[in-house]
Amino acid sequence: MGNTVIEIMERRKSVRTYEPTPISEAAHGAVMDYLAQEENLRGPFGGKVKVEWMWADGGAAEGKSVKLGTYGVIKNPQAYLVGAVQNGKTALLEFGYIFHKLILYATGLGLGTCWIGGTFSRKSFSREMELAPGEIIPCITPLGYPREKQRLLDSTVRFIAKSDQRKPWEELFYDGEFGRALTREAAGKLDVPLEMFRQGPSASNKQPWRAVVSQDQRHVHFYLQSTPNYSGNKLGFEMQRIDMGIAACSFELACRELGISGVWTMEDPKLNVPSPLTEYMLSYKLE
Ligand SMILES: Cc1cc2nc3c(=O)[nH]c(=O)nc-3n(C[C@H](O)[C@H](O)[C@H](O)COP(=O)(O)O)c2cc1C
């Protein structure tokens, strides 16, 4: 589409109302080619996910609404991308990372998407999905062309989830240690990658992620700040681990586009954390 990844990330938002127009062969083919490349389904720690394209049942009948996941109603979806992964701490993180990259790829093709988390069975779709023992379907996305004028219901969901709001920098990013806020000015070249991290989607827009940039700015440590009693974490898997993977994906893609190279590690710097709900997840080590 001739867009940069940063532009695609800035443009992406959850689309819950689609045009009844079928998805073009070109867009379908491009997504299938993407899925056929094994490296696109592998995470930064070697984890793998399975993703399948499912056409929506009943074709493109105008007016068709589907209740999916934990909240929100999707109108006129033309297809779904359905993801499956082992249910585990790192596996869910990698799922978020891999599936978000795919969502951004689809966005770049002009398709609308919406992360939908919930409990899906392998029989939830037009075609049965084969699952290995221990594998779950934590999230899917509908696909289709976004309807320009979004439904009233869409804006209600956006309003309830406060979708258009993100927490301010000082609540999310820290300088050397928790408690010392990192300003955008002090973030230097990490400004845009951190901003892309902040703009990323999360379940119910809870934004359960924090980052501490080391004082020499050679490491960025990412933490999960779990939301107390969040229903999304009680579905038999911890949804907010997926949010963390999404944030890591946004951060890395922005870094790469800006020529900031680095590698992912899991080496806990053992910083003092502000709450028992703050859990170290992963770090980006700049090279
Ligand atoms: C893991 C995950 C699960 C989500 N589950 C749902 C869902 O079940 N229903 C829904 O309508 N939106 C769902 N969303 C979309 C969020 O509400 C949305 O991303 C957030 O409000 C921010 O809005 P934006 O995507 O437009 O930036 C989910 C998002 C994520 C990341």
Digit-coded pLDDT (tens) for 210-265: 999 999 999 999 999 999 999 988 899 999 999 999 999 999 999 999 999 999 99
Q: Which candidate, 142, 14, 122, places its Cα nearest to that of 78?
A: 142
pTM of the shown model: 0.95
Q: Which protein residue's CA is at the shortest distance from atom 31 of ligand 1?
A: 202
Other beta carbons within 10 angstroms of residue 249's beta carbon come to: 26
Beta strands 219-225 and 209-213, pairing class: antiparallel
Q: What are the CA-CA distances from residue 281 to residues 32, 36, 72, 220 (Å)?
A: 31, 29, 29, 11
Question: Which of the four pLDDT bands, split at 50, 70 and 90, describes residue 1?
Answer: very low
Nearest-angstrom CA–CA distance, 71 and 160:
10
Nearest-angstrom CA–CA distance, 239 and 229:
12
Which of 15, 104, 114 maximizes ligand 1 atoms within 8 Å of its Cβ, making it the mutation to test the pocket? 114
Q: Which protein residue's CA is at the shortest distance from atom 6 of ligand 1?
A: 116
Q: Which residues contact 250 (CB under 8 A, 6 or more apart)?
A: 9, 100, 193, 196, 197, 199, 200
